[in-house]
Amino acid sequence: MSSFKENCEKYFGTTNFYEILEVPKDASQKDIKKAYHKLSLVVHPDRVDSPQKLVATEKFKVLGKIHSILQDESKRKIYDDCGEFDDEGDTDFNWMEYWRSLFKKISLKDIQNFENEYKGSETEVRDIKKAYESCKGNMTKMMEYIPFSNPESEPRIIEVVRGLVDKGEVEEYDVFFNEPAKKRRLRHKKYQKEKEEVEKESMEDLETVANEIQQRASSSFMNMITSLESKYGNNKRKSITTGKNASKKRKISKK
């Protein structure tokens, strides 16, 4: 298992907390929280497609731990003085609950709004650039690091990278601009398979819930019938019996 420090380097290209949050070293607690919120929204596991959830979750954990350290004055001082912080002792910590304790609950509308803001933004361009450089133009690997990316967004990613190459900001990788069609098909096929598996699991969950509701409803209905029989069954039999006796009496009187 990778250490916290290794994950900082792996997912953000640096172990410097302030560089990761993109704030100065003397940033206020308010600015640190704001930066943490902004970046955590980009990598929030609930905001990415299923193929990216594993990487997003690890990034989310890193950001959560960085914020927990910098928002504590004593821990922040140790980090500022030493340049690093002990990463042991919180492997089971629930960073999602930590996030929810600081920020409001995410809604589907929030996700859609944030995705619209992210696409085409400077943040997305920066993420694409970082993914392109670290993955050496391997589009399959890049897709794991670019939030909200999917096969439909590939043309936009290629356009962004082309612009960066033309500006001389990044090296031109032939494997990126002349990717073999077979490799692209395999990536799309894998993405579609994972998407279908997630949708299938969701449908199975819905069916399970529906069956449980149906069973509870059926059980409630049978309980109601039993209750009614118990309450009115004897009276019903009594009335039937009374009716037969009355009929007999009428026959006798006629004779």
Judge if pTM exceeds 0.75.
Answer: no
- Tell me the CB-side half-sphere exposure of residue 77, using CA atoms within 13 A: 2
Inter-residue contact 9 to 15 (CB < 8 Å): yes
Q: What is the DSSP string of 129-150?
A: HHHHHHTTT-HHHHTTTSTT--
Q: Where are the alpha helices (DSSP H) in 22-173?
A: 29-43, 53-70, 73-82, 95-102, 108-118, 122-134, 139-142, 154-166
Rg (CA), the chain: 32
| pLDDT digits 0-9 by tens, 16-61 | 999 999 899 999 999 999 899 888 888 888 776 666 788 888 898 9
Please state, in angstroms and rounded to a whole number, the distance separating the CA atoms of residues 30 and 35: 9
The CA distances from residue 17 to 8, 20, 107, 109, 184, in Å, are 8, 5, 29, 30, 36
Angle between helices 53-70 and 29-43 (to 10 degrees): 170
Q: How sure is the predictor about 242, in pLDDT bands with cuts at 50, 70 and 90? A: very low
Please state, in angstroms and rounded to a whole number, the distance separating the CA atoms of residues 81 and 148: 37
Is a pLDDT exceeding 80 seen at residue 137? Answer: yes
Residue given tokens 């690093």 in the structure block: 84
Instruction: Give me the pLDDT at residue 40, please.
Output: 85
Report, as an integer, the average pLDDT of 138-153.
87
Inter-residue contact 159 to 69 (CB < 8 Å): no
Please state, in angstroms and rounded to a whole number, the distance separating the CA atoms of residues 154 and 83: 38
- Report which of 129, 151, 125 is spatially closest to residue 140, judged by C-alpha positions: 151
| pLDDT digits 0-9 by tens, 158-172 | 999 999 999 999 999
Comparing 144 with 137, the larger pLDDT belongs to: 137
| pLDDT digits 0-9 by tens, 87-128 | 555 556 777 777 777 776 666 677 678 788 888 888 889 889
Within 10 angstroms of residue 145's Cβ, the number of other Cβ atoms is 20
Query: Strand, coil or helix: what is 174?
Result: helix
Find the Cα–Cα–Cα–Cα dihedral 167, 169, 174, 179, rounded to 10°.
-90
Is a pLDDT exceeding 70 seen at residue 254? Answer: no
Please state, in angstroms and rounded to a whole number, the distance separating the CA atoms of residues 197 and 111: 22
Q: Which pair of tokens denotes residue 251?
A: 């026959």
